[in-house]
Amino acid sequence: MSKLTDRISYLQGLAEGMKLNPEKDSNRLILEILDVLGEVGDSFEALAESHGELSDYVESIDEDLADLEADLYDDENEDLAEEEDGEFGEGFIEYECPHCGATVQLDADDVDFDEECLCPECGKELFPELPDDAEEEPENEGED
């Protein structure tokens, strides 16, 4: 901003140095324009200062909010880690073994259906392959 106010001051000084006659219409117009330009420059400078203060204030609020979020979410993460009631956090699923009926808790991100996954109770595959005829969709035989 100081570059703008410096240029405005330069123009005002130049007009004073030229000793423009304010009684002449064209000179009066130029002098009035320079006065208004000076006021605009002052307004811009005040606006820039207010903007800087507001930016500092918003940055302070942002830091406080980040601290608050960290405290809040740390407490929630500790609560989730302490749960022992059979409830699970996000990403966990409960699956019933098709062989023994035991409920198995699995992390959804770790399940790979292409690899063998064994039941911890009976030791059999949790996701057995379906026979070829079971994979095919039944045909609608009643339609003509």
pLDDT digits (tens, 9 = 90+) for 21-66: 888 888 888 888 999 999 999 999 999 999 999 999 999 999 999 9
Residue 12 is assigned to a structural domain of this protein: yes
Q: Specify the pLDDT at position 136.
A: 54
Domain count, the chain: 2
DSSP labels, 33-59: HHHHHHHHHHHHHHHHHHHHHHHHHHH
pLDDT at 76 over 70: no
Q: Specify the pLDDT at position 90.
A: 64
Alpha-carbon gap, residue 97 to 120, rounded angstroms: 9
The answer on 102 and 53 residing in a single domain is no
15's tokens: 């007009």
Residue 28 domain boundaries: 2-82
CA distances 77 to 9, 80, 97, 102, 117, Å, are 60, 5, 30, 28, 29
Residue 42 is assigned to a structural domain of this protein: yes
The answer on 109 and 64 residing in a single domain is no
